[in-house]
Amino acid sequence: MPHYDAFPQEITPKAASHKFECGDNFSNLTVVNFTGPDGAKLSAFCCNMNIDADGEPQAYKPLARVDLQSRDNLGNAGWKSKDDNDILKGKWEDAVKLLEDLEKEEADLVAKKAAGSQPGPSTGAPTATPQKSAPSLDEVEKKIKEVEKKIRQVKADLKTHYYWSEKESDRPVNYGRLFWHWYGVKSLPKKDEKLTWWETVADKRILRNPVLDGADIYEDVYGTFPVVQSQFEPGQGFFVSQMPHVANRHYPAWDQRYFLPGSQLTQGPYAALASGFALVSGVDLGDTLFALRLDTAQTLAFPYRDSGLGWKVAECGYEALAALGGVLTQNINFSRNDFLLLYLAFPKRQTPETILTKFATATNAGDFPVMLAFLAQATIDAKSQSKKSVASDPLHSYQLWKKNGTPPRPTIYDTIETALSNNGFTPAAQRYVRNHPDALVGGGPYLKL
């Protein structure tokens, strides 16, 4: 039995200071961190589901393989066409030219400073046209600082977007020519085609090498090419679709099964953990995300297995969408994902039932579903008004509800309360009613009307 304090604690909500977004569907989303008895924690937010195909064996295919149907397009794996690359090259050339001009300006100013910038002695009679006085030393130093700041900004832009490095030896092999790299597809340099792996099939050992698609259009800035799945992998002919983290070390890092959990042939439902959400929630890879579909009351608990950057939430694999009744198309980018879900994320490998059981012992446990209902209602209101930005403050709305003598709760309350109850959240009042249903009509020994 878990240990609880002698005097149950309250559930306390606190909104994260940063706002979040779900793909390009919703922005200004509130993440609420809840703390309950025994230090139990969870984080909640409400939006739709941003579909991800990372690590799926049929996610990406060679453009020439018209006989294969992929789940996603190569642009979502990093690839750029020649036309798109040329656009980036033009921007890179502009940035490089700007950096050269700024560095020349800086050098001229430093030379002027070294020579001294005060006006020289008079040479005799004044000229007919007044001469503009030379800048003072302070003015030159100020200008140098301004130019140095601009140089730092341009260098940061070159490093972030164009693979630039201060040291030329650290720049990738195709720097200045290509401006993209593979990130959703496993890629290797051609020299790695000599890597070997012994595949065991029916007690026979077969020597394998990674097979690369060496077409020029697939070479990235690092000089790598995509790996093609073999007959031994679940997506023969497709590119190996990678994830940032290892799932099965029984296979080489260039095999699709390296990114699939256990002996599975698909990823199964999973969520991607963005760095911003991890920072505010304490959630880590392997922790559980619980999703409640608000229109059908379907629920699903699944792990965080992928990772990403930014202040984002609800990026999930398409199998999570399918498990919640989403309408899938062959190309996941056209799948129907416009329904809303309430998400609860549980840190430190805690299960939904474990944490919700602890939350049920809080003195204000009855208010917890109401807090979540106001959180969900904020996104529901934005969607009903066809707005992407979620305007209302859910915790403020909840506090007004309490202050005004508990008027009617948001209509989504019943759906949320039932889902919580089915997953371990049964406060004392609910347990009493379940154990003594006659009390509600006055027929039991504990309640007289």
Tens of pLDDT, residues 341-391? 999 999 999 999 999 999 999 999 999 999 999 999 999 999 999 999 999
Whether residue 208 is predicted with pLDDT greater than 80 in this model: the reply is: yes
The answer to whether position 397 is within a domain reads yes
Residue of 324, 321, 346 whose CA lies nearest to 334: 321
Helices (H) and strands (E) in the chain, counts: 9, 16
Q: How many domains does the chain have?
A: 3
Q: What is the mean pLDDT of residues 16-43?
A: 96
Q: What is the pLDDT of residue 86?
A: 98
Same domain, 146 and 209: no
Q: What is the pLDDT of residue 449?
A: 31
The answer to whether position 5 is within a domain reads no
Same domain, 218 and 311: no
Binning pLDDT at 50, 70 and 90, where does residue 334 land? confident
The answer to whether position 446 is within a domain reads no
Residue of 401, 304, 410, 390 whose CA lies nearest to 347: 304
Span of 297-301, 330-334, 433-437 with lowest mean pLDDT = 433-437
The answer to whether position 6 is within a domain reads no
Same domain, 423 and 287: yes
The answer to whether position 238 is within a domain reads yes
Residue of 166, 177, 186, 38 whose CA lies nearest to 99: 166
Same domain, 295 and 378: yes
Same domain, 195 and 339: no
Residue of 224, 228, 241 whose CA lies nearest to 190: 224
The answer to whether position 336 is within a domain reads yes
Residues 239/228, Cβ–Cβ less than 8 Å: yes
Q: What is the mean pLDDT of residues 396-406?
A: 91
Same domain, 166 and 185: no
Distance between CA 165 and CA 298 in Å, rounded?
A: 50
The answer to whether position 270 is within a domain reads no
Whether residue 437 is predicted with pLDDT greater than 90 in this model: the reply is: no
Same domain, 323 and 252: no
Q: What is the pLDDT of residue 124?
A: 52
What is the amino acid identity at position 384? S
Residues 238/186, Cβ–Cβ less than 8 Å: no
The answer to whether position 407 is within a domain reads yes
Same domain, 205 and 107: no
Range of the domain at 311: 12-54+275-441
Q: Which residue has the tokens 């006085």?
A: 133
Residues 366/349, Cβ–Cβ less than 8 Å: no
Residues 180/85, Cβ–Cβ less than 8 Å: yes
Residues 44/34, Cβ–Cβ less than 8 Å: yes
Per the prediction, the chain carries an average pLDDT of 90
Same domain, 282 and 328: yes
Q: What is the mean pLDDT of residues 235-249?
A: 95
